Structure 1
Amino acid sequence: MKRLVLIVEGETEENFVNNILRPYLCSKGIYNAVQCFKTKHSKGGISKYSYIKKDILNIIYEKDVIVSMMIDFYRLPSDFPGFSELLDSQTHQEKVSLLEAKIKEDIEKTQKQKFSNFIPYIQLHEFETLVFSSIKGIESLFERNEFNYKGFMDVIQKFPNPEDINNHPNTSPSMRLKKIIPGYDKVIHGIGIIQAIEMPILLERCPKFKIWIDSLEAVLRQG
């Protein structure tokens, strides 16, 4: 049986894999082992592509393994394959799709072989994007007088697809949340909010995220 190994940036993403993704796959009848590998050198974000590449290569040759990753597009280092080819005219989805393709191309080119067991994934624009899928998550943890309800709803209405929320330092998903919820902490609050929203809503609201989850499900069902 194939097992899934996900390379992630930090504790919140690790909790997502263990507490949300794994139970979701089980609910779909997929009982393959799902393991999480938190990359080193990621405090404050990934600083070099070479770190992620090394992690991928350390795992990808293992028997019956599917390797994927969950890293943020926001503040992605410019040394990632394909970064210099990004154009302002491209949509966010087009940009990350190009980067994902170039990462896989780089791995296969340097190793001189194809890796059908490698599924790159870059989160638009960061993990906090998922929080903006629904007001349901925040309301499960906070009373309305504890956060800026109107501010949150304004963002949802402006961005029907949360993955379109931009990656400017002042308006990235994480910065918006810190303004909307005083004392918001990604590690403390992030997973609880996402759990309350639940996967079906995340998949409905975040199309790029859905493509990734569907691809993982499909390859794991192959045996």
Structure 2
Amino acid sequence: MKRVVVLVEGQTEEALVDEVLAPAALARGVHLAPVIVITSATPAGARRGGGSWRHYDMRLRNLFKASHLHRVGLLIDYYQYPRGAPGCDVGGSGPARQSELMARLHKQYPDSRFRPLVVLHEIEALVLAAIDAGRGEGLIPARGLTRLRREIARAGGPERIDHGPSTAPSKRLLRADPGYLKTVTGPLLVAEAGLSAVLARCPTFAAWWEDLLS
């Protein structure tokens, strides 16, 4: 069985990989596991997620040393792309800048197994896709769902929902439901919608997913 790991930046991504992506990968003969970046360690324990790029760099280089791994993936948000990351000073916006960021990542880490994805614009785009697919009733207030679906349609799809302090996907979800739990509600909605329905609405993520499992 192929063994694949995906380095993720936070607990939301970790939960989505564990609860949604890993079971789908297993059905295709791939053992998929998330590895969450550790940004610091204190006597109280490790602090996980976010932080500067050096923590990702260290973890990636260690993963590339594992010869038994078939693929080494990376999931990182376009919004708040880490300081110090390859291409962080690249100008532009949207898919064009996303492509350039991923090109810079490949150049920095030329291992043939490396499969990075700079997610447009946050991993919560998958949750918006699940909502667009008809999920969310009973979990998100009806008025909030209506507004989110209208915003998705206006943008032209979940991956086109823009980034910013007040317009990023995660911020829109919190506006729709102040009680929204990123690590609970999000993965639950994606699982309920089904991965195929979500991927159909997130073509960039879908292309990365197929490449990761190939």
Amino acid at match of 2:206: K
| 1:178–1:184 Cα contact (<8 Å) kept | yes
CA distance in 1, matches of 2:146, 2:66: 49
Structure 1 pair 180–142 and aligned structure 2 pair: CA distance change class (3 A): closer
Which piece of structure 1 moves more, 183-192 or 206-215? 183-192
| 1:10–1:39 Cα contact (<8 Å) kept | yes
Structure 1 residue 178 displacement after superposition: 0.8
Structure 1 residue 142 displacement after superposition: 4.1
Q: What are the ranges of 5 or more consecutive residues in structure 1 without an aligned counterpart?
A: 109-114, 219-223
* 1:2 equivalent in structure 2: 2
Amino acid at match of 2:30: N
Moved over 6 A (4+): none
Does residue 50 (structure 1) correspond to residue 46 (structure 2)? The answer is no
| 1:140–1:193 Cα contact (<8 Å) kept | no
Q: Deviations over 1:80-133 (max 9, x none)?
A: 212222225xxx12212211111121123xxxxxx1111111111111111111
| 2:144–2:176 Cα contact (<8 Å) kept | yes
Does residue 96 (structure 1) correspond to residue 98 (structure 2)? The answer is yes
Of all paired residues, the percent bearing the same amino acid is: 29
Amino acid at match of 1:183: G
Q: How do 1:2-151 and structure 2 match up within 5 A?
A: 2-27=2-27, 30-41=28-39, 46-65=50-69, 66-88=71-93, 92-108=94-110, 115-135=111-131, 136-139=134-137, 141-142=139-140, 144=142, 147-151=143-147
Structure 1 pair 44–137 and aligned structure 2 pair: CA distance change class (3 A): farther
| 1:124–1:163 Cα contact (<8 Å) kept | yes
Structure 1 pair 197–7 and aligned structure 2 pair: CA distance change class (3 A): same
Number of residue pairs matched by the alignment: 205
TM-score by length of 2: 0.87
TM-score by length of 1: 0.84
Amino acid at match of 2:59: D
Q: In proportion to residue count, which structure has more helix?
A: 1
| 2:140–2:176 Cα contact (<8 Å) kept | no
* 2:44 equivalent in structure 1: none
Residue 105 of structure 1 aligns to a residue whose secondary structure is helix
Q: What are the ranges of 5 or more consecutive residues in structure 2 without an aligned counterpart?
A: 41-46
Amino acid at match of 1:39: V
| 2:10–2:50 Cα contact (<8 Å) kept | no
* 1:221 equivalent in structure 2: none
